[in-house]
Structure 1
Amino acid sequence: MSLEKKNKTILILTAQFGAGHISAANAIKDYINEHDDNYNIVIQNFINASLPRINKPMVKMYEKNTKYMPELYNYYYYLKKSFNPKYDISHIIYTPKLSEYILDINPDLIISTFPLAASCVYNFNLKHDPIPCITVITDVVDSLEWIYPNTDMYFVPSKEIKNRLVRKGITPNSIKVTGVPINKNFNVSQKKYIPGKYRLLLLGGGRGLFDFDENFMHWIDNFVGINKDILEVTIVAGKNKKLYENLTEKKPLSNVKVLGFVTNMHELVKDYDLMLTKPGGATLFEAIHSETPIIVKLPKVGQEIENAKFIVDKGIGIIYNDDEDLKEIFESIVSNKFNSIIKFMLENIVDFKKTIHPENIYNYICELIEDKSIEK
């Protein structure tokens, strides 16, 4: 069997639009290798495999659109959410060269963690001998941009998304509720916290971009100084060197710990009781697996809006509107009533974790490869 598996290649197509798609790809590779390292697993940015010159410009355009023109981004996002993907011609740019790449790799299975990559695979399979394919939905969404008729299997974030996809005509057995795949090191069996003493982790993503400015960080610093016996705060500045220097050298914070880019995020998250961050799909499921309730600003970008709705519906976090709203949350954290709030959120996270099965990812993949091999 192992000799047979050595010849099996799994191609995972991903993209750099946000960190979640790549982290999902890496997590899936880890889930496979944990059980069997005989598979040849190739992770590839689908744009680099087709038109590498436009990858950086496309990523920059995405970042600018989501930051400065969210209304325009959302117009297209919600259009695609209910738009039959077979009429979306954007794949035409990438499919020809990507098809050459796929033929060269000759994989036994293709996994897509980005919707446009799934579109290219769909169009590849229409014109060539079909290769089994899985689509991994990396936000809590049921957008049609992820859905293609010749997709063999879907990994979805929640039962609700499975139910919505079934209503859209997808075969129930092809939809596996895995949650968004993330590094399993984030997982804890039971969160330990001390009532009345809270550790809060402030995250701005890899680029260190926060939803509040440095003045507000100094407000937090003063607030922690007054409430040291109840609240401990750490800011992770990521790759934002300017912010890190400002907070540690130019106008250093005295009561808040400031870190730069970290490689042990899973250890950090597990050590803290709360995360104040952005509602990306990967971040959300890192919080869920580490049993860390999440605080996020009401987002402006389509998929993050859907993720925020999920946070509220499941009762696993807190959404705020502006700085004044956030100040009230800080006041709440140091009050007696927060003990019952965090207990409520932790119970909901534990309940939700029981409904997702990332531990089955390897079995689902093997099942599909073997079934398709038998069909041949």
Structure 2
Amino acid sequence: MTDKTDIGFFSSSIGLGHATRDIAIAQHFDGILAKFVTGNGAAKLFSEYGFSVNDSYVPPKFKIKNGSLQKSLKWLFAYYQYYKECIGIAKEFVKNEKPKVIVSDEDFASLTVAQQNKIPSILITDILETRFTKGIGAVIEKKMNQSMKNIIQNCSVVIMPEFGQDQDNIKMVGPIVRATKHSRDELREKFSFSRKTITLSVGGTDAGMFLIEKTIDVFSKLNLDADLVVVSGPSLKIDTQNVRNLGFVNNLHEIIYASDLVISLAGKSTIDESKAYGTPGIFIPIKNHFEQEDNARQIGYQYEDVFHLDTLIPRKLESCRTSVETNGASRAYEIIKKYLT
């Protein structure tokens, strides 16, 4: 090894939202050597941005039926096994790379290893506990949440992409989104968006197939002077004859900016990019997925709105653009940088 690693950056590989906000932060790493550990589409995204990435993580998939999360307790047990595998990966990384700091975006295995090795540990998260299960499963999950709480309390600092007051070791920095150097008109020309454009995005997993099918069906029946563009991500192969499918993209934030409406699952990063660029959005959560349901509820949506797309789409397509100022990425970078000196 010739160059000493400054930051071991472990990014959850469940979806692409963690990777997109981590890239927003890492683009400030001038002169800082960071090596990323993740997997699936997230690894592909980091690689396309030119970062050094270890494609090691293979997380358990959510089982979704008719837009609803199924067998959450079984998934929780699978996730615990995955966590133990990630512990081994993190130990090997620390042994070989000897990073000065461990930064984790909701990857608790790397935080555990960092704290065992007395390496400064920084957590990026928008949740402080999980609520996937009910009944007997909730008892098991409660114990896992207590372990997670202990890890959080032992972190050097916790960065939350939310507005609010700092508390203890938790620093609120506001939404963390990727920046663009282009104007909206430049991007519309780049993407050949000549009419009003609706972008349908479902992230990095196959969990959003229900939303793709429902949106395409509704759009085909609406008489709109608009185009529908689908960003199906790395995990879905879809046959779309009447819409434009972009598949996997590494610049969804720019596509959102250029669009007139975004329809998506209720992942926080996509919601934040929609707010930052002022693009109206319809955000449908996976049913029984507590995090997505919370995200959606905060902006006035719920799972049942998937059955109201025929009225929501025309109305939201005519909404005014209102952007939210944020410098969450630079603020997060400044916090991380302090632990490298």
> TM-score, normalised to structure 2's length?
0.71
Q: Quote how far apart the aligned CAs of 1:241 are.
A: 6.9
Take 1:68 and 1:217, find their aligned partners in 2: how far apart are those partners? 15
Task: Give the structure with the higher percent helix.
Answer: 1
Residues 136-157 of structure 1, C-alpha deviations (whole Å, 9 max, x = no match): 11xx423253652221111102
User: Per the alignment, in what secondary structure is the counterpart of residue 283 of structure 1?
Assistant: helix
Take 1:95 and 1:264, find their aligned partners in 2: how far apart are those partners? 31
Take 2:90 and 2:245, find their aligned partners in 1: how far apart are those partners? 42
Correspondence for 1:201: 199
What runs of 5+ residues in structure 2 fail to find an aligned partner?
A: 44-52, 130-144, 189-194
C-alpha contact 1:204 1:277 (8 A) present in aligned 2: yes
The count of aligned residue pairs is 299
Q: Quote how far apart the aligned CAs of 1:69 are.
A: 7.2
Runs of 4+, deviation exceeding 6 Å: 46-51, 65-69, 74-77, 186-190
Residues 286-329 of structure 1, C-alpha deviations (whole Å, 9 max, x = no match): 222222222022432122122112323xxxxx556155411121
Match of 1:275 among 249, 252, 262: 262
Residue pairs, 1:274-353, within 5 angstroms: 274-300=261-287, 301-312=289-300, 318-319=301-302, 321-333=304-316, 338=318, 342-343=319-320, 346-347=321-322, 349-350=323-324, 353=325
Residue pairs, 1:1-376, within 5 angstroms: 9-32=6-29, 36=30, 38-45=31-38, 55-56=57-58, 59=59, 61-64=60-63, 70=69, 72-73=71-72, 94-95=86-87, 98-121=90-113, 124-126=114-116, 128=117, 130-137=118-125, 140-143=126-129, 145=148, 147-160=151-164, 166=167, 171=168, 174-179=169-174, 181-185=176-180, 198-206=196-204, 209-212=208-211, 214=213, 217-223=216-222, 226-228=223-225, 231-239=226-234, 242-243=237-238, 246-248=239-241, 253=242, 256-300=243-287, 301-312=289-300, 318-319=301-302, 321-333=304-316, 338=318, 342-343=319-320, 346-347=321-322, 349-350=323-324, 353-354=325-326, 357-370=328-341
Correspondence for 1:83: none
What runs of 5+ residues in structure 1 fail to find an aligned partner?
A: 1-5, 81-87, 313-317, 371-376
Aligned partner letter, 1:116:
F
C-alpha contact 2:67 2:211 (8 A) present in aligned 1: no
Aligned partner letter, 2:268:
G
> TM-score, normalised to structure 1's length?
0.65
Q: Quote how far apart the aligned CAs of 1:30 are.
A: 1.3
Provide the alpha-carbon RMSD of the alignment.
4.1
Which structure is larger by alpha-carbon Rg, 1 or 2?
A: 1
User: Per the alignment, in what secondary structure is the counterpart of residue 110 of structure 1?
Assistant: strand
Q: Quote how far apart the aligned CAs of 1:275 are.
A: 0.5
- Quickly say closer, same or farther: Cα 1:203–1:74, change in 2 above 3 A: farther
Correspondence for 2:136: none
